[in-house]
Amino acid sequence: MRLLTGNDLKTGAVTWWTGTDWSIHVEDAADVTGHEDEIARREEASRRVNGPYAVDAELKDGVPRPSHIKERVRSLGPTVRPDLTLKPAEPDIGNWVI
């Protein structure tokens, strides 16, 4: 599957296209296979996202997981600061990245 990601223009936060909107949670991301360019152009023009691009991903336990480690780190937060990730209550969440 393909996910569309970018950064929020105002805050810089990593965001994922859900099919109707943008979310900071990769779990919400929709498969955009075949429509990546069209959505990216439209959303960037409306300034809802900065620099959108598509990444490969796979479903794991029903949740999209980006194929490349860099995108997994992006989607979660720094592995060395679990407290600053999107899942601070899950101390082993770093294993999902690696």
Note the residues at the interface with other proteins (CB under 8 A): 7, 9-14, 44, 47, 50-51, 67-70, 73-74, 77-81, 84
User: What is the smallest separation between the CB atom of 87 and other proteins, expressed in angstroms?
Assistant: 14
Residue 19 or 51: the one with the smaller Cβ distance to other proteins is 51
User: What is the smallest separation between the CB atom of 31 and other proteins, expressed in angstroms?
Assistant: 20
Residue 34 or 40: the one with the smaller Cβ distance to other proteins is 40
List phi, psi (to 5°) of 8: -60, 130
Give the side-chain half-sphere CA count within 13 A for 82.
Answer: 11
Strand order in the sheet with 63-66: 22-23, 14-17, 2-7, 50-60, 63-66
User: What is the smallest separation between the CB atom of 33 and other proteins, expressed in angstroms?
Assistant: 20
Q: Identify residue 91 by its one-letter amino acid code.
A: P
